[in-house]
Structure 1
Amino acid sequence: MSETIALIDFGAGNLRSVHNALIAAGASGIAVTNDPDVVAAADRIILPGVGAFGACRDALAAIDGMIAALDERVHGKGTPFLGICVGMQLLADKGIEFGEHQGLGWINGTVQAIEAPSADIKIPHMGWNDVTPTPRSDPGEGAHNLILAGEAYYLHGYHFDATNTDDILATTHHGVPLVSAVGRDNIVGVQFHPEKSQAYGLSFLKRFLEWKP
């Protein structure tokens, strides 16, 4: 029986491109949805996001029962979860963008503005850049196995400052080190856009679709 993949539509994600990339990566059973009941029964959950942290958090919270369904399915049932761009940032405790806004609090940290160390470093961080996996003394079977070295496409002016370095799966460098991916147990979030990252992005999505945390 094929899996159901809930691609959450909360009005702030690049849904068509993500949907098409998932199909190209071999996915079937994709449900583009804003229905908490569909999310609560899904085998995999993907939360894309574009825009400001607070606006995305408010849009997600405005769907009655959605955050509760996510908590139950992801934390309670261990369902594989992928957050993309702002969808990854929402995993943090809070975001500092046009004020302070509460995140989901699944991966401890704060999302704050990228501070350029010099005038020649342009913000937002936009375009192709490295994805450098964080070295591990014990590779195990965790979320970090999803992230391979390569190049991916980024577009963001805010970055995830993780409290626990063990939650950082990969970094990139744009004048300063920036987090490319975070994760723990059945949860992974990527700052880059896999749907815009060509072969690298499709290979990452394929690994996520096959992942059994």
Structure 2
Amino acid sequence: MNSRTASRGSARVGLVLGAAVASVVLCTTVSAAAPGTASGVAGRDSAARPAGERGCPLVYFDLGETLVHTAEDGSIAYRSGAASYLRALRERRITVGLITNVPSSWGTTDAERAARLKKEVDAKWKGSVPFAWEDFDGRTLTPRTEAERKPAPVLWQRALTEAGPCRLVFQAETAEEVGGAASLGFVPYQIGQPHRPAFLPVGLVQLLGHR
């Protein structure tokens, strides 16, 4: 095989993979169960908003080994590509949240547990760019009891109840958590997989609010 043929073959493979990612995401969106009908967005008291307005879709993430990585020395930093991905979502006014396991003993409310989480992460943070906590604006769901820890469905169910009409996405590093979210109607995306974008492409995320 000559270099020109190989180049054309690589280009075709790239196009096929891109189309496959789009197909999987959009097909999952169409077949996913509709989110809960309660008004408001997690962490806010605003009324439910029509699909397509700011806040739809709503992208939830796991935190550890999804957006951040803990090194062997205990330091914490952004996972490769995570900071720029969050920035791209922010620039497009796409609402984001966290659904993450922390000890239930860290507080009696999500806000208290989230504050302790921020303190723990910031104390071990490495890098010149701090974690973008402000992007999440109170949308951090954490276990109220140890029995609510993922992969138990409680945290995802709470997100669905609070999301109104918004299409929900969940991105994490493990197939178990992604599968758990998908079974409840989230658009799932397992990050860090070979031959796929590190995170669900922002353009596809935008499309989900119009499906």
TM-score normalized by the length of structure 1: 0.25
| Structure showing the higher strand proportion among its residues | 1
Larger radius of gyration, structure 1 or 2? 2
| Structure showing the higher helix proportion among its residues | 2
TM-score normalized by the length of structure 2: 0.25
